[in-house]
Amino acid sequence: MRKYRVEFGSHSLTHQRLTDLPLDQARKEVTFSRSLLQEKLEQSVSFFCYPYGAWNETVISLVGSAGFQAGMVTNLRSSRFSPFTLPRVGIYGHNNLAVFRLKLTIGQWKEKKYFGFSS
Ligand SMILES: [Zn+2]
């Protein structure tokens, strides 16, 4: 997949809301998901997407400590913008083509809002 420029990222081990877990359990979700993916893919995994878009400063710290370079959020709070709160648009299996198209439009709007341009 690498030759097609497809990037794999982590979304945790068991898709739990990391902000609700005890610290050690949240750390395992983040750390082991990265090491497992790296082992299977035989390449570095740099990106993490918070399950349910649930993140806080503790979870961000865990993600950074695990070696990820960036984290993706679906619920960006305007007061927090960093490589670990990069905005993304969630696309789901139940989204039909019209919704997919709408989300792409909203995504462009977000891109323009946060970066000052859209591609
Ligand atoms: Zn998810």
Distance 90 CA to ligand 1 centre (A): 9
Residue 12 CA to ligand 1 center (angstroms) comes to 9
Ligand 1 mean position, distance from CA 3 (Å):
26
Could you tell me the pLDDT band of residue 118, with boundaries at 50, 70 and 90?
Answer: very low
Sort 103 into a burial class: Cβ within 10 Å, 0-12 / 13-18 / 19+.
Answer: middle
Is residue 117 very low, low, confident or very high in pLDDT (cuts 50, 70, 90)? very low
Contacts of 115 (CB under 8 A, 6+ apart): none
Whole-number Å distance, alpha carbon 11 to ligand 1 midpoint, is: 7
Tell me the whole-structure pTM to 2 decimals: 0.79
The mean per-residue pLDDT over the stretch 65-71 comes to 97
- Ligand 1: distance of its center to the CA of 15 in Å? 6
At residue 89 the predicted structure's pLDDT band, cuts being 50, 70 and 90, is confident
Ligand 1 midpoint to CA 59 (Å): 16
* Beta strands per DSSP E along the chain: 47-49, 70-73, 86-87
Instruction: Tell me, in angstroms, the distance from the centre of ligand 1 to residue 88's CA.
Output: 12
Give me the residues near ligand 1 (ion), CB cutoff below 5 Å: 51
Check pLDDT > 70 for residue 112: no
Place of tokens 């891109």: 111
Domain 2-88 part of CATH 3.10.129.10: no
Percent of the chain with pLDDT over 70: 84
Q: How confident is the model at residue 36 (pLDDT cuts 50, 70, 90)?
A: very high
> How many angstroms is it from 44 CA to the middle of ligand 1?
21
**Domain boundaries along the sequence of the chain:** 2-88, 91-119
pLDDT of residue 64: 97
Q: Which of 50-54, 60-64, 66-70 has the lowest mean pLDDT?
A: 50-54
